[in-house]
């Protein structure tokens, strides 16, 4: 494959990543505005800010790529803790979380957000699998971050639905006495 073709393919991947990130960011912004639950609003606001950081990162990379035909991976940071840290915090909070006041609306938004995060994660996994080494290096940092986003959205969904699970951990068991 020629260098031009690989740059073009990488540019297309960055443009597609921007589409995913803008979509999710907008979904979280709308959810933040619509949510009546203070915890839900906080979760949505943090995730919207997180996604905006991804948009900024990708836009910067796209400008560099178009100007120089190179986009070296910068530092992609996250304000969110790792999945392990989140799960440890959940263990400490277990049983203290109450369902949100507007459960059905919140649940619908969270299901859309979860589906969008899963789809975005699949995209990044595909890019890491298919792109040449420079493209893989660029997209690899997104894998762990998107994993964390999926975990947080799933945790919030579990809390809102009140089904007794949070991060796949049982909060209560109707069978135990």
Of the candidates 28, 7, 47, 20, the one whose C-alpha atom is nearest the C-alpha of residue 138 is 7
Instruction: Give the model confidence (pLDDT) of 73-105 as tens digits.
Output: 677 777 666 666 555 554 554 444 444 455 677
The reported pLDDT for the residue numbered 57 is: 93
The mean per-residue pLDDT over the stretch 37-66 comes to 90
And the tokens for 33? 């505005």
**Which residue do the tokens 């979509």 mark?**
23
Query: Residue 171 above 90 pLDDT?
Result: no
The reported pLDDT for the residue numbered 97 is: 46
Q: For the whole prediction, is pTM greater than 0.85? A: no
Q: Percent of the chain at pLDDT above 90?
A: 40
Question: In angstroms, what CA-CA distances link 162 with 59, 75, 153, 157, 167?
Answer: 39, 37, 14, 8, 12
Instruction: Give the model confidence (pLDDT) of 106-157 as tens digits.
Output: 888 899 999 999 999 999 999 999 998 888 989 999 998 999 899 888 888 8
Q: Percent of the chain at pLDDT above 70?
A: 72
Whether residue 81 is contained in a domain is answered as yes
Residues shown for the chain: 177
Looking up residue 137, the CATH number of its domain turns out to be 1.20.1260.10
The mean per-residue pLDDT over the stretch 13-30 comes to 96
Whether residue 176 is contained in a domain is answered as no
The reported pLDDT for the residue numbered 114 is: 94
Whether residue 21 is contained in a domain is answered as yes
Whether residue 177 is contained in a domain is answered as no
| Interhelix angle 3-34/103-130, nearest 10 degrees | 170
Distance CA 107, CA 113 (A): 10
Whether residue 74 is contained in a domain is answered as yes
Whether residue 175 is contained in a domain is answered as no
Query: Residue 38 above 50 pLDDT?
Result: yes
Distance CA 89, CA 134 (A): 36
Domain of 141, in residue numbers: 3-170
pLDDT band at 172 (very low <50, low <70, confident <90, very high): very low
| Interhelix angle 103-130/38-68, nearest 10 degrees | 30
pLDDT band at 176 (very low <50, low <70, confident <90, very high): very low
Whether residue 116 is contained in a domain is answered as yes
Whether residue 160 is contained in a domain is answered as yes
Q: Quote the number of domains for the chain.
A: 1
Angle subtended at Cα 6 by Cα 3 and Cα 11, rounded to the nearest 5 degrees = 125
The reported pLDDT for the residue numbered 3 is: 44
């Amino acid at each position: 494959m020629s260098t031009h073709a690989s740059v073009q393919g990488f540019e297309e991947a960055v443009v597609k990543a921007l589409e995913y990130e803008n979509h999710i960011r907008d979904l979280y912004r709308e959810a933040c505005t619509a949510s009546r639950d203070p915890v839900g609003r906080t979760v949505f606001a943090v995730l919207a800010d997180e996604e905006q950081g991804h948009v900024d990162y990708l836009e910067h990379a796209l400008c560099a790529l178009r100007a120089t035909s190179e986009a070296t991976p910068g530092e992609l940071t996250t304000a969110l803790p790792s999945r392990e840290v989140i799960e440890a915090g959940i263990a400490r909070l277990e049983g203290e979380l109450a369902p949100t006041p507007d459960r059905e609306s919140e649940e619908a938004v969270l299901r859309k957000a979860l589906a969008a995060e899963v789809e975005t994660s699949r995209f990044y996994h595909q890019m890491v699998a298919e792109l040449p080494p420079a493209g893989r290096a660029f997209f690899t940092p997104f894998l762990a971050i998107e994993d964390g986003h999926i975990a947080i959205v799933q945790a919030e969904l579990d809390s809102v639905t009140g089904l007794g699970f949070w991060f796949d951990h049982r909060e209560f068991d109707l069978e135990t006495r």
